[in-house]
Amino acid sequence: MNNLILLPGASGSTAFWYPLIEKLLQQYRTKIIGYPGFGDTPQSFAIKNFEDLTNYVLNQINEESIIIAQSMGGIFAVAAALQKPQLVKGLVLIATSGGINLESFKVQDWREAYSQAFLKYPDWFVTTNANYEEFLSDINVETLLIWGDNDPVSPVPVGEYLNQKIKNSMLYVVKNGDHQLAEKHADEVAVHIQTYLKKLHVNL
């Protein structure tokens, strides 16, 4: 089972993952799921809201895979782990909210800047209230959490909180890593994902 599914953040940029994929061992088959209407992925008139988008993403997970998710993509990753536990064999959450309420954390509000930067995008990521907090303890797969210590959008305490809630998880903090750490620190992130994948295969 060497399938890796990569989920972008709210920008929908599939190219975000290219530097990391180049660093991962070629034994893994990688699949980036783009979001219709975001980034370079063509719009789909069948997708009208965040729930439709969630179902779209989950419907593309149809074989045993390990999911790697950036930022808002973590909401889909957590949903997949909860709804398709027989297929999701591992989780790597990078600088994400994981579907929790961030109001109690001192996070930078990214929504206004996001809306201005992506005027033609649907507003689902900005307006969604998807919350899986009460179900996080139901996630049983080994989970790797990767955060940056210089990320105002999803600061380290968010990762520490998820580390407490997801019982079979480990947290790694990238020094000087900001919200784009998976791209900017692809070498370091890849090393920790490789270590995680090797450990995961031993335990499967």
Q: What percent of the chain has pLDDT over 70?
A: 92
Both tokens of residue 124? 């689902």
Model confidence pLDDT, tens digit, residues 58-117: 999 999 999 999 998 999 999 999 999 999 999 999 998 767 777 777 776 666 666 666
pTM of the model: 0.92
Is the CB of residue 66 less than 8 Å from the CB of residue 93? no
Predicted local distance difference test score (pLDDT) of residue 119: 60
Both tokens of residue 57? 């993403």
Model confidence pLDDT, tens digit, residues 139-179: 999 999 999 999 988 899 999 999 999 999 999 999 999 99
**Whether pLDDT at 204 is above 60:** no
Mean pLDDT score, 118-132 = 77
Q: Which of 90, 104, 100, 115 is nearest to 4 (CA)?
A: 90
Mean pLDDT score, 26-36 = 91
Mean pLDDT of the chain: 89
Mean pLDDT score, 125-149 = 90
**Whether pLDDT at 201 is above 80:** no
